């Protein structure tokens, strides 16, 4: 959460607001993603992944960002190679955020 600390300049209200936004949006986006995958609509899933990538970038998870970026591209080609990795990254973020006490 170093980036959030730097971005906020120590403003606790700002940090709370950002975490709340991510906690509100990410689970919904992830549910839509799973629905798109289950329905075989990989292009739609790639669009959702594109939105989620921005949240991953926020956490400065460089390696994860690169792999999820590949996942977005592969989905557009109908390839699920990075699907398990993507699920793991999103799950870790979703498990971490509620524990992050601000």
Task: Match 């990989």 to its residue by tokens.
Answer: 42
2-53: pLDDT as tens digits? 777 777 788 888 888 888 888 889 999 999 999 999 999 999 999 999 999 9
Write down the H helix ranges in the chain: 2-8, 12-38, 42-58, 62-76, 83-96
What pTM did the predictor assign? 0.84
Backbone angles phi, psi at 76, to 5 degrees: -60, -20
Considering Cα of 49, then 52, then 54, then 56, what sign does the dihedral take?
A: negative
CA distance 37 to 66: 20
Convert the pLDDT of each residue in 50-97 to its tens digit: 999 988 887 778 899 999 999 999 999 999 999 999 999 999 988 887
Residues with Cβ < 8 Å from 101, sequence gap 6 or more? none
């Amino acid at each position: 959460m170093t980036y959030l600390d730097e971005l906020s300049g120590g403003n606790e209200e700002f940090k709370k607001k950002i975490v709340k936004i991510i906690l509100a949006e990410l689970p919904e986006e992830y549910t839509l993603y799973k629905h798109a995958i289950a329905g075989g609509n990989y292009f739609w899933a790639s669009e959702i992944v594109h939105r989620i990538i921005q949240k991953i970038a926020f956490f400065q998870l460089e390696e994860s960002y690169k792999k999820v970026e590949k996942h977005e591209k592969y989905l557009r080609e109908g390839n699920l190679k990075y699907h398990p990795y993507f699920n793991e990254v999103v799950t870790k973020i979703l498990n971490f955020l509620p524990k992050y006490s601000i």
